[in-house]
């Protein structure tokens, strides 16, 4: 298997945790100022605090999009940009794509190549009026320790650092990972159930994907098998067709019940269309 360049997982986690030890600290303020200053300051900071130690970097093939992103495009990649992201990473083994350190190296490389600015990583989720530079300036001017800490956490999440929310960040709270994994599941499941790729992408919209990703990759989740996930996607498609607006909260409850059911009933052994019926019953009971 091809080895890909990435940061050591433990070193990358410690880098993030070290920044979160004290809200509003001088360390956090310096961190924000570096991202505000631009590419060269950012790279120098990363070399000083992480990259200069050879044990912190696992060498191999470096892979990253060559596409130059606008700030909002990076935060909310449209479909054509999602395609670009998928084309870059589609041949990389799944086991590599779950490494936070792999994605971190990708982001650092994209900044080094001028594909994104380090300030992009601080942008608010709407990415319009509250750009990265605006949000950094607002945090530093406020002097509020919580606002400063929140902005540091946003940057870490945007770089796929697991310190704020754990390793599941690769699936949802990290922009490139979110785009990649939505495309991945739509591609995989379109070969297994009677839904087209485009239909699955539509099913896994912002709301549904957020609930799906939050529950998909936990120790208590049993929905990752193709049959179970297939049933869930068929259920969500039916809900859309009937113009039923299932909330993210309810969907999470449905998935929790489905996981419980799977644990003792081995529901993943039955066909997706039968699983869909089980899921419909769960939804109606909530």
Distances (CA, A) of 65 to 86, 184, 209, 210, 243: 9, 17, 23, 24, 37
**pTM of the predicted structure, to 2 decimals:** 0.88
- d(CA 273, CA 193) in angstroms, rounded, equals 9
The neighbour count for residue 22, using CB atoms within 10 Å, is 11
For strand 57-58 and strand 6-7, is the pairing parallel, antiparallel, or unpaired?
antiparallel
pLDDT value, residue 153: 97
pLDDT in tens, 67-107: 999 999 999 999 999 999 999 999 999 889 999 999 999 99
pLDDT value, residue 64: 94
pLDDT in tens, 130-187: 899 999 999 999 999 999 999 999 999 999 999 998 888 898 889 999 999 999 999 9
pLDDT in tens, 34-76: 999 999 999 999 999 999 999 999 999 999 999 999 999 999 9
Unique residue bearing structure tokens 């790279």:
43
In this structure, of 23-27, 122-126, 191-195, 265-269, the range with the lowest mean pLDDT score is: 265-269
The three-class DSSP label of residue 21 is: coil
pLDDT in tens, 2-21: 899 999 999 999 999 999 99
Domain limits, the chain: 6-167, 190-285
More confident residue, 204 or 266: 204
């Amino acid at each position: 298997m091809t080895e890909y360049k990435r940061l050591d997982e433990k070193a990358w986690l410690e880098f993030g945790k070290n920044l979160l030890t004290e809200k509003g600290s001088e360390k956090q303020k310096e961190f924000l100022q570096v991202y505000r200053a631009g590419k060269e300051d950012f790279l120098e900071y990363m070399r000083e605090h992480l990259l200069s130690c050879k044990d912190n970097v696992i060498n191999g093939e470096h892979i990253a999009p060559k596409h130059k992103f606008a700030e909002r495009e990076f935060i909310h990649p449209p479909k054509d940009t999602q395609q670009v992201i998928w084309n870059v990473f589609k041949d990389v083994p799944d086991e590599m794509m779950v490494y936070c350190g792999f994605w971190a190296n990708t982001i650092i490389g994209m900044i080094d190549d001028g594909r994104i600015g380090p300030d992009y990583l601080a942008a608010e989720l709407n990415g319009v009026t509250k750009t990265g530079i605006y949000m950094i300036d607002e945090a530093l001017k406020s002097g509020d320790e919580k606002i400063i800490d929140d902005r540091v956490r946003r940057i870490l999440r945007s770089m796929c650092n697991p310190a704020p929310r754990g390793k599941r960040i690769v699936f949802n709270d990290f922009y490139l990972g979110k785009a990649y994994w939505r495309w991945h599941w739509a591609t995989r499941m379109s070969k297994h159930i009677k839904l087209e790729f485009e239909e699955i992408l539509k099913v896994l919209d912002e709301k549904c994907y957020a609930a799906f990703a939050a529950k998909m990759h936990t120790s208590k989740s049993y929905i990752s098998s193709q049959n179970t996930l297939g049933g869930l996607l068929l259920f969500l498609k039916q809900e859309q067709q009937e113009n039923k607006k299932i909330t993210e909260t309810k969907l999470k409850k449905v998935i929790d019940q489905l996981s419980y059911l799977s644990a003792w009933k081995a529901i993943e052994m039955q066909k997706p269309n039968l699983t869909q019926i089980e899921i419909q019953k769960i939804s109606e009971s909530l």
